[in-house]
């Protein structure tokens, strides 16, 4: 129960911060352009709110053309923790205020402003989430530094891009020298030195030093491949999911998986490939437990899953820390933020697959991303990632999301024709229905996994 409460507290704190920052983006840009913001709420408030506050009105005449009146905003906290909102006057959104929209447009309303101003108001929420992620990543680099693992300490070696394999590198090789100069992971130019060298020496199979010739202009092939190598992740069980095959078979925290049916499976890539090939079939895992080898029979799911969480690589190999000054941390924050966004966008192609749809999760899955012990660095790293994910999801061109409004505004700017309010209303209803179904499906997956698997 303590672990559940700690995870829940971290989820609520992160979610509240992301919602407030996102909605503040819409709010501040609306105010900049003289648009009335009627409400600013964390969480939704159908029928009633937990907290409600409105600034005192100035002692001026209360008329619709009075600036004090149209700047008056109600702030509050709702009881339904599914997001938050700002209610912007004259905008077709989730509030579906038909009475307001049936009246003539007023100068302080969203619909009366130029399209470029309305576009900036809608983009602002996504922009604020991405800026928040960069600030958090920069803060982590400045306060905690950047953890790295020296090449020689990574006993499973590296996994190489296809362009690297074509010139002689093999998965598992550990880079040692570039033109006779020792390579260190702490050197930010080490990768550049490798791809620009004439020869690179690697440690192969833990014992042989092999020299590889690097072709001229090889760097351009690396750029096309969008990478050169990554650390291979050893398969060490961090914990098992209750009721899943690993739990039933008796796998324990700390078990190191070495083989599947006698084939090498000590790295994440080989392990997941062999599991996928043997989905629904009984297999034999060769493991090392407390320094002693053992074999365990287990049957993965049809999708090739056994229900384990892997130990982070930073908890397996010796970790060093690179420190950043305040100014140095800013480009590092940008690098991490854009890198996470790129990786998240790339991963979205799997959501459209049958296996990807099954893996969709809601609040339960997000909550499980947080550790069961409070860790500030983990909290901020996960919050930054969720901020990137929220920014991307919100920019998707789905009516009812910011991206849907942006899509219609871009159409208006390009075609010089504004979509009708009736069309916008129907699009908003369809978008809300789709998101509600998606919300039910994702959280239904969480419940299914919790109670039935």
Which domains occur in the chain, in start order? 2-138+388-451 (no CATH), 151-231 (2.30.42), 237-313 (2.30.42.10)
Would the pLDDT of 104 be above 60? yes
Would the pLDDT of 97 be above 90? no
* Rounded Cα distance, 130 and 384, in Å: 9
Q: Given this model, what pLDDT does residue 185 score? A: 83
Taking alpha carbons only, the member of 120, 215, 92, 209 closest to residue 163 is: 215
Paired tokens of 355: 């296996």
Taking alpha carbons only, the member of 184, 180, 197, 195 closest to residue 154 is: 184
Query: 186 with 157: CB under 8 angstroms?
Result: no
Q: What is the mean pLDDT of the chain?
A: 85
What are the residues whose beta carbons fall under 8 Å from the beta carbon of 385, sequence distance 6 or more?
133, 340, 344
Do you know the residue count of the chain? 453
Taking alpha carbons only, the member of 86, 109, 93 closest to residue 23 is: 86
pLDDT digits (tens, 9 = 90+) for 271-313: 999 999 999 999 999 999 999 999 999 999 988 899 998 998 8
Please name the residue ranges forming H helices in 65-148. 67-70, 98-101, 115-143
* Rounded Cα distance, 269 and 154, in Å: 15
pLDDT band at 96 (very low <50, low <70, confident <90, very high): low
Question: Which of 177-181, 182-186, 335-339 shows the lowest per-residue confidence on average (mean pLDDT)?
Answer: 182-186
* pTM (whole model) above 0.75: no
- Torsion angle of the four alpha carbons 131, 133, 138, 141, in this order, in degrees rounded to the nearest 10: -170
Query: Strand pairing of 292-298 and 283-289?
Result: antiparallel
pLDDT digits (tens, 9 = 90+) for 25-69: 999 999 998 888 888 999 888 888 898 888 766 544 444 444 445
CA distances to 39, 40, 48, 176, 296 from 78, rounded to whole Å, are 11, 10, 7, 58, 50
pLDDT digits (tens, 9 = 90+) for 190-235: 777 888 889 999 999 888 899 999 988 777 666 555 568 889 999 9
Q: Given this model, what pLDDT does residue 265 score? A: 93
* Rounded Cα distance, 50 and 173, in Å: 59
pLDDT digits (tens, 9 = 90+) for 414-453: 998 888 878 888 888 898 888 888 888 888 877 877 776 5
Q: Which run of H or E residues covers position 81?
A: strand 80-88
Paired tokens of 314: 């930073």
Burial of 413 (0-12, 13-18, 19+ CB in 10 A): middle
Section 238-247 average pLDDT:
89
Q: Given this model, what pLDDT does residue 16 score? A: 93
Question: Which of 159-173, 309-323, 350-364 shows the lowest per-residue confidence on average (mean pLDDT)?
Answer: 350-364
Please write down the long-range contacts of 61-66, taking CB distance under 8 Å and 24 or more positions apart.
64/106
* Rounded Cα distance, 107 and 258, in Å: 69
pLDDT band at 129 (very low <50, low <70, confident <90, very high): very high
What residues are paired with 310 via a beta bridge?
237
Q: Report the interhelical angle of 376-395 vs 326-347 (nearest 10°).
A: 50
Local structure of 159: helix, strand or coil: strand
Would the pLDDT of 378 be above 90? no
Burial of 387 (0-12, 13-18, 19+ CB in 10 A): buried
Rg from Cα positions in the chain: 27
pLDDT digits (tens, 9 = 90+) for 50-59: 988 887 665 4
pLDDT band at 325 (very low <50, low <70, confident <90, very high): very high
Taking alpha carbons only, the member of 370, 361, 366 closest to residue 446 is: 361
Taking alpha carbons only, the member of 146, 198, 210, 199 closest to residue 172 is: 210
* Rounded Cα distance, 394 and 3, in Å: 30
Paired tokens of 32: 């900049």
Local structure of 437: helix, strand or coil: helix
pLDDT band at 95 (very low <50, low <70, confident <90, very high): low
């Amino acid at each position: 129960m303590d672990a559940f409460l700690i995870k829940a507290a971290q989820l609520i704190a992160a979610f509240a911060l992301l919602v407030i920052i996102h909605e503040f983006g819409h709010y501040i840009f609306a105010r900049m352009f003289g648009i009335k913001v009627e409400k600013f709420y964390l969480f939704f408030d159908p029928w009633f709110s937990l907290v409600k506050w409105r600034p005192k009105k100035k002692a001026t005449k209360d008329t619709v053309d009075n600036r004090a009146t149209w700047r008056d905003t109600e702030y509050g906290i709702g009881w339904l923790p599914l997001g938050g909102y700002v209610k912007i006057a004259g905008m077709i959104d989730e509030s579906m205020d038909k009475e307001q929209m049936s009246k003539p447009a007023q100068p302080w309303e969203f619909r009366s402003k130029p399209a470029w101003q309305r576009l900036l108001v809608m983009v602002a929420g996504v922009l604020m989430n991405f800026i928040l992620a960069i600030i958090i990543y920069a803060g982590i680099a400045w306060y905690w530094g950047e953890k790295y693992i020296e090449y020689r300490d990574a006993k499973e070696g590296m996994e190489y891009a296809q362009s690297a394999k074509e010139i002689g590198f093999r998965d598992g090789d550990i880079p040692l020298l570039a033109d006779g100069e020792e390579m260190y992971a702490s050197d930010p130019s080490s990768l550049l030195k490798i791809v620009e060298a004439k020869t690179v020496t690697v440690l192969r199979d833990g014992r042989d030093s092999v020299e590889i010739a690097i072709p001229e202009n090889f760097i351009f092939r690396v750029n096309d491949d969008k990478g050169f190598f990554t650390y291979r992740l050893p398969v060490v069980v961090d914990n098992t999911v209750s009721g899943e095959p690993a739990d039933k078979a008796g796998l324990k925290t700390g078990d190191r998986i070495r083989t599947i049916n006698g084939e090498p499976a000590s790295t994440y890539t080989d392990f997941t490939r062999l599991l996928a090939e043997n989905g629904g079939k009984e297999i034999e895992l060769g493991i090392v437990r407390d320094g002693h080898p053992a074999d365990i029979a287990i049957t993965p799911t049809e999708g090739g899953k056994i229900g384990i969480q892997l130990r982070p690589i930073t908890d397996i190999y010796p970790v060093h820390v690179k420190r950043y000054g305040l100014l140095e941390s800013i480009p590092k924050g940008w690098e991490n933020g854009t890198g996470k966004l790129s990786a998240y966008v790339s991963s979205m192609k799997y959501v459209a697959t049958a296996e990807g749809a099954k893996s969709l999760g809601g609040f339960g899955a997000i909550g499980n991303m947080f550790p069961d012990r409070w860790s500030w660095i983990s909290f901020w790293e996960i919050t930054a990632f969720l901020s990137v994910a929220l920014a991307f999801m919100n920019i998707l061109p789905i009516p009812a999301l910011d991206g849907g409004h942006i899509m219609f505004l871009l159409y208006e700017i390009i075609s010089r024709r504004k979509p009708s309010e009736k069309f916008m209303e129907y699009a908003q209803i369809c978008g809300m229905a789709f998101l509600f179904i998606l919300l039910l499906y994702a959280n239904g997956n969480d419940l299914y996994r919790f109670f039935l698997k």
